[in-house]
Structure 1
Amino acid sequence: MNPESRTLAASRRASILEALHRDGVVRISDLSERMGVTPVTLRRDIAHLAGEGLLHRVHGGATLRTADTPVPGAAPFDAARPPYLGSAGMLVPSLDYYWPEVVRGAEEEASAQGLRILLRGSSYESADDRPQLERLLDHEDVCGLIAAPSLTAPSSAATIEWLSTIDTPVVLVERLATVGPRQAVVESVVSDHALGAAMAVHHLSSLGHRRIGVVTSEHSPTSPHVHRGWLDACAETGLDPASTVDTAVPRPGVPGWDAALDAVLDGLAATGTTAVLVHADTEAMALVQRAEQRGVQVPAGLSVVAYDDEVAALFTPALTAVRPPRRSIGRAALALLAARLHDPDRPTHRVVITPSLRVRGSTAPPAG
């Protein structure tokens, strides 16, 4: 924030406190009209003042912490609870796979931070996430955004650039992005998917496998990281990635799906590959079923590690799987947003959290 902006912010905040001491309560809608400032800017100012302990934030406005006058619709002040900061608008690309646990983690942390979650779903095929994000910002109570926007849509670069300029804190979740000629980092929380994939390769290598393939999902933003981790671990363990299967498959059920599974199994057999890392669970389970139909037993004839561990443990055999820290990702994203609300001038943070490997019945030493 440049000196002129700091001066303007200090003047606005002084005006807010003056109105509070005069009236005992302020509403963002009234302040916006009176001061000629956008609601988004005022929400950020109020969040800053709340972080300094100078006021108590309530829905649509603020009261003095010492004020006895209740605000209509506001919960009574409870000294044992954190002051209410407002809502965190949250946009995720799916509400039925991977992301629900991320959201649950964010909700758990929200209650401890004086925030609540305002959730919206997009899709992996979204051509432009900006309209959804703008609708979240239209809610008077939203004081920050947690978002997993598409980074492959034609509009993605413009959306990220816009997010970096709005006067509202933004935390990307499971996404990395930079903006501008100096490649300024956008605040984010991510799983170390490359490390998770490397864990799987090291596990299989420790069992004695020397040809370990990889199968990724064509349209998943996680796949490039999984593939990079596989390559890194191959180098670390002295494996030759060119001697095995390295391929991406379409979504399960689409035209060409069965042919893609057969092509993978043909490749595994032709290269003598005895183990494979598959992203994600659905693809791994389908590959195991197809292998069994062709007379290849798991893990006796082929060891399989799934990446995601959403439903891998429910399969038979239960699949060894890499589990991204979904709930921890949600908690960390919310905590990062709250920290930004309390201290708008803190350095940009990029938080990376390590996945875990769950060893089950689909991996074993190679036969013979």
Structure 2
Amino acid sequence: MRETGADRRQRVLAVVEARGEVRVTDLAAELEVSVITARRDVEDLARAGRLRRGHGVARSLVPVRQAPVPGERDTGVVALVVPERHAYLNEVVHGARAALEEAGTRIVLHPAPQVAGADRPIVERALAGDDVRGLLIAPRWRTVDAEAADDGWLAGVDVPVVLLERRPRRGSALHARDSVCTDHWFGMHLAVTHLVALGHRRLVLAARDDSPTARALRAAFAEICAARPEVEDATTVLSAPDAGADPAAAEGPSLAGVVRERGASGVVMHGDVDALMLVRQLAEAGIAVPRDCSVVAYDDVVAALGSPPLTAVAPAKAEVGRLAAGLLLERLGAEAGPARQIAVLPELKVRGSTRSFDRVERKY
């Protein structure tokens, strides 16, 4: 999903507030945008009263604390490492930031580029600073092999670590670390149960296959559908040509083709933007939503803006960030006991893209 200007400006503001003052050229290099774009974002934020502009620099309106206030515990600096241009995690980041700032803890954002193995050198550089005392991280883990490769070194980091929106593999070294993640099995359960209750018996999941969330959703869909005797057929396809870790998998049939071939009347779509585009593709193929096919999106960032507004599973992303920050603060305060794995339940927002299945009215 392409990063919006608002999301990018939030990253600019986070970096500036974390450091107090940043050169615009440094902002552009760190966020991997042009200097013109970075300067425009700084100007927009200054006009909105969010920061101050200087000659070639951006200055925070929030003082950067260099030392603890007398009587307060010193929690130092928390490094936050997340994939760059990953819109799903923006709300998670904001939730974590709010909780840490409320506790008086400085947070430094480190966006990780879309390159295999990028997380490790970023974490090592971040932890080289004497004041970094904790790490919040959402590794990209595009493949299962990438997750396995990160297991040893990340579990061995010598500061408290909390994984964001990542569930460690059972028995892995990271299994003994704290993590906070959306319960994606439950989210898929909500979507499938909703469609089945409306009379849909032949379902399709259109999902990515290049992230831990996507893999969790695919596994949950297969398991839940197999356990529901009402479901006559369940098929999974890629949500976009570039949505898979294996390029060869992109050569499969279109979603509209699969819906027609399988006689599907209910579709779950991973990712709001992909969902909006796929609804349009269905319409172009003569399959109207929801008359011919009901659609449930998974994410709920922009699902409500669709035509029709999309029914969607809505993960509590800000709450994931807040809880992860709270776990880390407990570790920094030496208050935490055994490692904890927290699962946050998403909600289902019912809108206009789902309806009771009517075999007579369906046109294809």
Q: Which interval holds the TM-score relative to the shorter structure?
A: 0.7 to 0.9
Distance 1:183 1:114 in 2: 28
Distance 2:164 2:114 in 1: 14
2:297 to 302, 306, 314: 306
**Pair 143,301 (structure 1): closer, same or farther in 2 beyond 3 Å:** same
Letter in 2 for 1:168: V
1:105 to 95, 106, 122: 95
Once the 2 structures are TM-superposed, how far is the Cα of residue 98 of structure 1 from its aligned partner?
A: 0.9
Contact 1:164/1:179 (8 A) holds in 2:
no
Distance 1:182 1:160 in 2: 6
Scaled by the length of structure 2, what TM-score is found?
0.72
Letter in 1 for 2:350: V
Alignment-derived partner of residue 189 in structure 1: 180
Gaps of 5+ in 1: 1-71
Distance 1:179 1:195 in 2: 19
**Pair 203,253 (structure 1): closer, same or farther in 2 beyond 3 Å:** closer
Alignment-derived partner of residue 200 in structure 1: 191
Scaled by the length of structure 1, what TM-score is found?
0.72
Alignment-derived partner of residue 49 in structure 1: none
Once the 2 structures are TM-superposed, how far is the Cα of residue 276 of structure 1 from its aligned partner?
A: 0.6
* CA deviations over 1:154-191 (Å, ceiling 9, x no partner): 56434321222232001111112258788852211111
* Number of positions where the alignment pairs a residue of Structure 1 with one of Structure 2: 292
Alignment-derived partner of residue 362 in structure 1: 353
**Pair 287,184 (structure 1): closer, same or farther in 2 beyond 3 Å:** closer
Deviates more, 1:284-293 or 1:144-153: 144-153
**Higher-Rg member (1/2):** 1
Contact 2:208/2:239 (8 A) holds in 1:
yes
1:268 and 2:253 matched:
no
Alignment-derived partner of residue 348 in structure 1: 339
Alignment-derived partner of residue 11 in structure 2: none
Letter in 2 for 1:326: K
Distance 1:224 1:315 in 2: 25
**Pair 124,176 (structure 1): closer, same or farther in 2 beyond 3 Å:** farther
Distance 1:95 1:215 in 2: 22
Listed as ranges, the matches of 1:9-158 within 5 Å are 73-74=66-67, 76-77=69-70, 83-151=73-141, 152=143, 156-158=147-149
Distance 1:164 1:340 in 2: 15
Listed as ranges, the matches of 1:242-261 within 5 Å are 243-251=233-241
Once the 2 structures are TM-superposed, how far is the Cα of residue 201 of structure 1 from its aligned partner?
A: 0.5
Distance 1:186 1:304 in 2: 37
2:327 to 333, 336, 342: 336
* CA deviations over 1:68-108 (Å, ceiling 9, x no partner): xxxx954654x6xx544111101011345111111110011
Letter in 1 for 2:88: Y
Contact 2:241/2:251 (8 A) holds in 1:
no
Letter in 2 for 1:149: P
Distance 2:184 2:114 in 1: 18
Distance 1:178 1:334 in 2: 22
Gaps of 5+ in 2: 1-64
Alignment-derived partner of residue 19 in structure 1: none
* CA deviations over 1:135-161 (Å, ceiling 9, x no partner): 111222211001111333756434321
1:323 and 2:314 matched:
yes
Distance 1:223 1:253 in 2: 9
1:177 and 2:165 matched:
no
**Pair 306,73 (structure 1): closer, same or farther in 2 beyond 3 Å:** closer
- The alignment's C-alpha RMSD in Å is 2.8
Once the 2 structures are TM-superposed, how far is the Cα of residue 258 of structure 1 from its aligned partner?
A: 9.8
Question: For 1:161, what is the secondary structure of its paired residue?
Answer: helix
Distance 2:144 2:121 in 1: 14
* CA deviations over 1:99-134 (Å, ceiling 9, x no partner): 111111001110233312111111454334100111
Distance 1:179 1:238 in 2: 29
**Pair 253,129 (structure 1): closer, same or farther in 2 beyond 3 Å:** closer
Runs (4+) off by over 4 Å: 153-156, 178-184, 251-260
Distance 1:89 1:123 in 2: 16
Distance 2:114 2:132 in 1: 24
Distance 2:281 2:357 in 1: 19
Once the 2 structures are TM-superposed, how far is the Cα of residue 280 of structure 1 from its aligned partner?
A: 1.5
Distance 1:201 1:89 in 2: 38
Identical-pair percentage = 35
**Pair 182,280 (structure 1): closer, same or farther in 2 beyond 3 Å:** closer
Letter in 1 for 2:126: L
Contact 2:95/2:322 (8 A) holds in 1:
yes
Distance 2:227 2:174 in 1: 30
Contact 2:95/2:318 (8 A) holds in 1:
yes
Question: For 2:354, what is the secondary structure of its paired residue?
Answer: coil
Once the 2 structures are TM-superposed, how far is the Cα of residue 352 of structure 1 from its aligned partner?
A: 0.7
Contact 1:252/1:282 (8 A) holds in 2:
no
Question: For 2:206, what is the secondary structure of its paired residue?
Answer: strand
Question: For 2:342, what is the secondary structure of its paired residue?
Answer: strand
**Pair 191,184 (structure 1): closer, same or farther in 2 beyond 3 Å:** closer
Once the 2 structures are TM-superposed, how far is the Cα of residue 357 of structure 1 from its aligned partner?
A: 0.8
